[in-house]
């Protein structure tokens, strides 16, 4: 069974860069699409973007200028970086697998942007 | 910018049937958008119910079904149970991006 686990700092200062990693277990990262999704408290889900195992990316146009995704197939991990964060970026961040849908999900990690 | 629309809220009686829909602010939803559906309860990660319009994810009971109804994607819950009370989100695949609907809060009472 494929499992995904998000990790990274739970607190980021305003204007700094948020960095998260998703570790995949129970299966290979190769040959699949991997997404990041976030959810602010009391709000809906927002797809942030995805990366294929080859490294090709697609981003949500509303976040494209601030987001970078990367993949490390040797570690079975993929990562998210988002720069110039503000309090509005405080959310639970999820990683997920799937090409046309999110089929497997991580449990999510809360990132708070605060000084 | 295309917006994916869902009913903000819906209620169903226990044992009843409810159909939630997923539309587009402009245009019709077709199978080519690979509509998918997710269930989320407070504090939990989303659970994938349906993908590719009508394919149930592993372990999802067959009282959840997906379809295209008119110009929208639809999620039908037959024989609603108390623990179906959740938020439900749809996603449409638009080529290189995925777009979530705003979600429907389903109450079972």
pLDDT band of residue B2 (cuts 50, 70, 90) is: confident
Chain B environment of A45 (Cβ under 8 Å): 38, 40, 46, 89, 100, 103
User: How many Cβ pairs within 8 Å bridge chains A and B?
Assistant: 60
Residue B26 in this model has a pLDDT that exceeds 80: yes
Distances (CA, A) of B24 to A59, B4, B99: 20, 5, 10
Average pLDDT over residues B72-91: 98
What pLDDT, on the 0 to 100 scale, is given for residue B95? 87
Distance CA A51, CA A32 (A): 9
Question: How much of chain B, in percent, has pLDDT values that exceed 70?
Answer: 100
What pLDDT, on the 0 to 100 scale, is given for residue A48? 98
Q: What is the mean pLDDT of chain B?
A: 97
Residue A45 in this model has a pLDDT that exceeds 90: yes
List of residues 6+ apart from B43 with CB closer than 8 A? none
A-contacting residues in B 39-98 (Cβ below 8 Å):
40, 45-48, 51-52, 57, 89, 91, 93, 96-98
Average pLDDT over residues B68-94: 97
Nearest C-alpha in A relative to B104: A44
Distance CA A98, CA B38 (A): 13
What pLDDT, on the 0 to 100 scale, is given for residue B1? 73
B-contacting residues in A 42-61 (Cβ below 8 Å):
44-47, 50, 58-61
Q: What is the mean pLDDT of chain A?
A: 97
The answer to whether the CB atoms of A103 and B48 lie below 8 A apart is: yes
**pLDDT tens digits for range A63-106:** 999 999 999 999 999 999 999 999 999 999 999 999 999 999 99
Distance CA A109, CA B23 (A): 30
Chain B environment of A5 (Cβ under 8 Å): none
């Amino acid at each position: 069974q494929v499992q995904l686990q998000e990790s990274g700092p739970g607190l980021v200062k305003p204007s700094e860069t948020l960095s998260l990693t998703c570790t995949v277990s129970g299966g290979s990262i190769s040959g699949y699409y991997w997404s990041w999704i976030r959810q602010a408290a009391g709000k809906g889900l927002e797809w942030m973007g995805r990366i294929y195992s080859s490294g090709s990316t697609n981003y949500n146009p509303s976040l494209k200028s601030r987001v970078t995704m990367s993949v490390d197939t040797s570690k079975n991990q993929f990562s998210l970086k988002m720069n110039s964060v503000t309090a509005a970026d405080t959310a639970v961040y999820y990683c997920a697998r799937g090409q046309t849908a999110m089929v497997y999900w991580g449990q999510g990690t809360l990132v708070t942007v605060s000084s | 910018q295309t917006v994916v629309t869902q009913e903000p809220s819906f209620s169903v009686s226990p044992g009843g049937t409810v159909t939630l829909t997923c539309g587009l602010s402009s245009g019709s939803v077709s199978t080519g958008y690979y509509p998918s559906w997710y269930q989320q309860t407070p504090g939990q990660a989303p659970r994938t119910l349906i993908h590719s319009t009508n394919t149930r994810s592993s372990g999802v009971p067959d009282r959840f079904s997906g379809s295209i109804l008119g110009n929208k994607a639809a999620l039908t819950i037959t024989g609603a149970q108390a623990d179906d009370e959740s938020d439900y989100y749809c996603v449409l695949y638009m080529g290189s991006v995925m777009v979530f609907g705003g979600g429907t809060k389903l109450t079972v009472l």
